[in-house]
Structure 1
Amino acid sequence: MTTPEFDRTELAWRISSRSLGGNCVEVAPAGSLIAVRHSRRPDAEMILYTRAEFAAFVEGAKAGEFDDLT
């Protein structure tokens, strides 16, 4: 599969309102994908997920599946 190219400066990045001290990830819609990056390193690697993958993660987080990691 070929990774699509996006101009990261054109994406509408969002950060959680619960982010403390910049230690958070940012997300942005990127066509049919969701882009994820570290808020302190906006020019570093950007990871792309399908909307189904991202939805599965969000649902798991809402259900408390990752609570032991915080």
Structure 2
Amino acid sequence: MAATNAGGPVKRAPVDWRISTRSGNGGGNCVEAGPVLDGSRRVAVRDSKDRSGPILVYSATSWTGFLAGLRSDAPTG
């Protein structure tokens, strides 16, 4: 596995992939994310339907900000 982005390359580092609980069952929105197991605290994201496809890698700070943004836009009620 090798991916390049703002978080830097993932050079054969294993990732503890986890499928999103929001992915549903075959609805086309299938995302996996997990920590890169190299001590960098980065998080990798990929399309679970195309596991050999592109991988996005986020720094720990960027990932935390991304999640905070999702939570702030979450519907209430």
Does 1 or 2 have the higher relative contact order (CA < 8 Å, sep 6+)?
2
Q: By percentage of residues, which structure has more helix?
A: 1
What interval of TM-score do these two structures reach, taking the shorter chain for normalisation? 0.7 to 0.9
TM-score of the superposition, structure 2-length normalised? 0.69
Q: C-alpha root-mean-square deviation of aligned residues, in Å?
A: 2.2
Q: Size of the alignment, in residue pairs?
A: 64
Identity among equivalent pairs (%)? 33
TM-score of the superposition, structure 1-length normalised? 0.74
- The gaps in structure 1 that reach 5 residues or longer are none
Q: How does 1:6-21 map to 2 (within 5 A)?
A: 6-7=12-13, 10-20=14-24, 21=26
Q: State whether structure 2 residue 53 is matched by structure 1 residue 49.
A: no
- The gaps in structure 2 that reach 5 residues or longer are 1-5
